[in-house]
Structure 1
Amino acid sequence: MTHIRLIAALVMAPVAIAAILLLPTEWMMMLAAIVFLLGLWEWFDLADIDEPLARTVLLLAHLALMVALVWASRSTMGFSFALFELMTLIGVVWWLLALAWLGRYRFASDHTTHARVFKLFAGVLATIPAWCALGWLHASDPSASALPGIPKGHFWLLTALMVVWAADSGAYFVGRHFGKHKLSPRISPNKTIEGLVGGMVAGVAVGVLMSLAAGATVEQLPVVSLVALVATLFSVVGDLFESLLKRHAGVKDSGHLIPGHGGVLDRLDGVLAALPAFALGKALMGL
């Protein structure tokens, strides 16, 4: 399974990196919307929405919200990311509240309408703010980077994503070889405290290295480290929350689209939580 997981990552990573660096923001956001909506489709399954018509209507409603945010941000003066910034803040607040949900394992664990409403609302707060944060990061700095023709903002988005990817890989390999103390055995039995530490170290290290390509100065690296650390911790919350949903649904993976990785949502869980945290942290710290 490790070899399949690695091969799939080697195929997906170059495509994702090329899209992030080379596509203009509007095209990047369109591509990201497709990926996020695929993950949301799997979220509906975890929320016990079985009817195809109901899932399709809900998916179209989320797409309409994305379109409405873009439409409302256009003006004669140009494109404003104010609404995207507000949604990013809402996303950060949501993931802080999600910690309370993680501490109450049985909450919304049944299969009633009550539980569905909470989980569907959580899907909105997880997906839309992350998508907004992605667009905000990608367009955050249009000035030229070290690579000709590639804006610094594109590198900042890549930095945020690579922090999550590095943290996930670091936690996986450190936890597998050195993990002894369970992080949250009831929600995710395979996650360990040792894996968490390994993921934090890997996420911060990669974040610092990537930020140099994004235009960060040596003096800014301590701040970058802090932002990367916070984003890494948020990614763990996102990962655990999806694990909680899967436990409630009684499934191992959110889907089977990606060999060795499960579903799309299994690859997005940490990203959904980390992107708002990274984007807001970058803005607050003046990076």
Structure 2
Amino acid sequence: VLFAAVGISEIFLMKKQILVSFNFLLALLATLTWTVPDSFFKVFPSNITKLGVFYGIIMLFLTWTVLSKNKTTFDDVGVYILAALYIGIGFHYMAAIRAYPQNGLALLGCVFVVVWSTDIGAYMIGRKIGKHKLWPVISPNK
């Protein structure tokens, strides 16, 4: 949950948005809706689901675009919602892999090793035999 909160704050920093705002609060809630375990929602009545809470947050975001007199745009809301899905669901499944009863920690470690290895391998191969930079604006050295 803490890493997910850091992740959504990074999105706000990339968009040059302030972290102490209603937008950030809603984006954080949307992210945490997906990040927290499913068992968290069992304390609520059965008609309150993770998806229902997420839709409610989207409606609050869209209402806020009107109430803020378009200081928060639809484009901003789209970025925040997609970021909440990307970060929240990613960390949810990372925790789910870790909680797997048989070797969950080893499986999660394997996932990280594979991702890091492919990234490092692509970087090293690109440095040795690559002639053209892939996307210099995003990553100047790759």
> Which TM-score applies when normalising by structure 2?
0.62
Separation (CA, whole Å) in 2 of partners of 1:136 and 1:171:
28
Q: Does 1:173 align with 2:142?
A: no
Q: CA RMSD in A?
A: 3.1
Flag structure 2 segments of 5+ consecutive residues without an equivalent: 44-49, 51-70
Residue 184 of structure 1 deviates from its aligned partner by 4.2
**2:30·2:84 contact (CA, 8 Å) conserved in 1?**
yes
Separation (CA, whole Å) in 2 of partners of 1:73 and 1:179:
52
Q: 2:21 is paired with a residue of what secondary structure?
A: helix
Q: 1:116 is paired with a residue of what secondary structure?
A: helix
Residue 133 of structure 1 deviates from its aligned partner by 1.1
Matched residue, 1:57: 25
**2:27·2:81 contact (CA, 8 Å) conserved in 1?**
no
**1:138·1:153 contact (CA, 8 Å) conserved in 2?**
yes
Q: Does 1:72 align with 2:41?
A: yes
Distance 1:35 1:44, change over 3 A: same
Matched residue, 2:3: 35
Matched residue, 2:105: 154
Q: 2:81 is paired with a residue of what secondary structure?
A: helix
Residue 177 of structure 1 deviates from its aligned partner by 2.9
**1:138·1:157 contact (CA, 8 Å) conserved in 2?**
yes
**1:137·1:156 contact (CA, 8 Å) conserved in 2?**
yes
**2:133·2:141 contact (CA, 8 Å) conserved in 1?**
yes
**2:31·2:84 contact (CA, 8 Å) conserved in 1?**
no
Separation (CA, whole Å) in 2 of partners of 1:59 and 1:34:
14
- Aligned match for 1:115, one of 66, 69, 75: 75
Q: How many percent of aligned residue pairs carry the same amino acid?
A: 30
- Aligned match for 1:138, one of 87, 98, 103: 98
Amino acid at match of 2:112: L
Residue 71 of structure 1 deviates from its aligned partner by 1.0
Distance 1:167 1:185, change over 3 A: same
> Which TM-score applies when normalising by structure 1?
0.34
Distance 1:120 1:162, change over 3 A: same
Separation (CA, whole Å) in 2 of partners of 1:170 and 1:116:
35
Separation (CA, whole Å) in 1 of partners of 2:123 and 2:110:
20
Separation (CA, whole Å) in 2 of partners of 1:159 and 1:169:
15
Distance 1:168 1:68, change over 3 A: closer
Q: 2:17 is paired with a residue of what secondary structure?
A: coil
Residue 160 of structure 1 deviates from its aligned partner by 0.8
Distance 1:121 1:58, change over 3 A: same
Q: What count of residue pairs does the alignment treat as equivalent? A: 115
Q: Deviations over 1:52-87 (max 9, x none)?
A: 23355135414651347341368xxxxxxxx8xxxx
- Aligned match for 1:127, one of 63, 82, 87: 87
Residue 172 of structure 1 deviates from its aligned partner by 2.3
Q: 1:176 is paired with a residue of what secondary structure?
A: helix
Separation (CA, whole Å) in 2 of partners of 1:69 and 1:134:
14
Q: 2:134 is paired with a residue of what secondary structure?
A: strand
